[in-house]
A = this chain, B = another copy of it.
Amino acid sequence: MPRIAVDAMGGDHAPREVVLGAVDAAEAGHDIVLVGDRSRIELVLGETGADVAIADASEVIEMGADAASAIRERKDASISVAARLVSSGEAAALVSAGSTGAAMAAASFLIGRIDGVSRPAIASMFPGGKIVLDSGANLSCRPEHLVQFAVMGAALAATKLGIERPRVGLLNIGEEAGKGRDLEREAYPLLAEVPSIEFVGNVEGRDVGSDRVDVIVSDGFTGNVLLKTAEGAAKLLLGLVVETLSGPELADKMAAIVPALGDVRHRLDPESYGGAHLLGTMGVVVIAHGSSSRRAVANAIGMASDEAAHGLVERITRDIGAVHSLAGA
């Protein structure tokens, strides 16, 4: 079982919910080291009676801090200590619910990028298992970055979903080749040459709900808008459904239906997925939502542990190498 370094101090409800989530994950069999303020971590651990390893870190990087300079200045920040545990091989993966920027900076500076990856990217999961990247790490991209995102996202689909040759689509405003901005028009022929993916061509925002693609690649600005729009639209619609079904003539039917709608809500709940993967660094990195509850943290740890066990980093390393040989040929 790979060891997971958990940033105990990151997140709106840290360290409490993070420590409790780690306790649940440890009870499920995961190997965890909690990184942060020992006395505060032990206080929460004491309530549960559980025994989880602790690595000391005396500093914290707050949400909203300038991530890159904070990582440089606070050598003993919990996220940095956790990243160094991965870098040294003492842990195989890093989980944080703290600042996304700090996690990205710590992973890039302290764990380091996989050879051939110029831009680590954030891959988010969609209901049904679809992977969308980049979802916010790189707001402006060049075509070769999208190619790297395709390779990395496909590697995640392979290790996580067991799809040997994942179908990858390029997010665009129409399906025909030639659509889009210079970015998409130039990336399209490059993507068609990537050996580790099945390139299905352009896909549109509506394909978040389709069966024709496993991985959607995009610049980080557009990918972020896609994810948040899908979330907003789903909430809007669920609200409309509840409102409609709550009319007086259907009220008696609702008692039976509310639990079923709760199940739909659960299937759409980002907490069920635990977090997003930062892909492209020399260790598995999972970034959980800042508001993560105990359950979300436990799920994020499970995700990180699974990917470390399934060799995600090794697969990206191999497939990125194949793209580089191609470019060099």
The interface of chain A, by Cβ under 8 A from chain B, is 64, 127-128, 136, 139-140, 171, 173, 176, 180-181, 204-210, 218, 220-222, 224-241, 244-245, 247, 249-250, 253, 256-257, 260-261, 263-264, 267-268
Contact = CB atoms under 8 A, between A and B. Distances in A.
A97 B64 CA distance: 47
In the complex, the 8 A-B pairs of residues with the closest C-beta atoms, listed nearest first: A209-B236, A205-B229, A205-B228, A206-B232, A230-B233, A233-B233, A209-B232, A173-B224
Contacts of A171: 225
A222 B234 CA distance: 19
Contact of A235 (B206, B231, B232, B249): B206
A307 to B, nearest CB: 25
A267 B240 contact: yes
A287 to B, nearest CB: 15
Given A206-B231, A241-B261, 16 more contacts: A140-B181, A173-B225, A204-B232, A206-B229, A206-B235, A208-B232, A209-B232, A209-B233, A218-B225, A221-B222, A225-B225, A226-B229, A229-B230, A230-B230, A233-B233, A240-B267
A206 B136 CA distance: 15
A210 B253 CA distance: 28
B256 A260 contact: no
Contact of A257 (B220, B222, B257, B263): B257
B181 A221 contact: yes
Nearest to A132: B229
A203 to B, nearest CB: 10
A46 to B, nearest CB: 37
Contact of A139 (B64, B180, B210): B180
Contact of A264 (B173, B232, B244, B250): B244
Contacts of A209: 232-233, 235-236, 239
A209 B173 CA distance: 22
Nearest to A224: B173
A264 B234 CA distance: 13
A19 B245 CA distance: 37
A264 B210 CA distance: 20
A236 B173 CA distance: 19
A137 to B, nearest CB: 11
Nearest to A184: B221
26 contacts: A127-B236, A139-B180, A173-B220, A173-B224, A173-B225, A180-B221, A204-B232, A205-B226, A205-B227, A205-B228, A205-B230, A206-B235, A208-B236, A225-B226, A229-B229, A229-B233, A230-B230, A233-B233, A233-B237, A234-B236, A237-B268, A244-B261, A247-B260, A249-B256, A253-B253, A257-B257
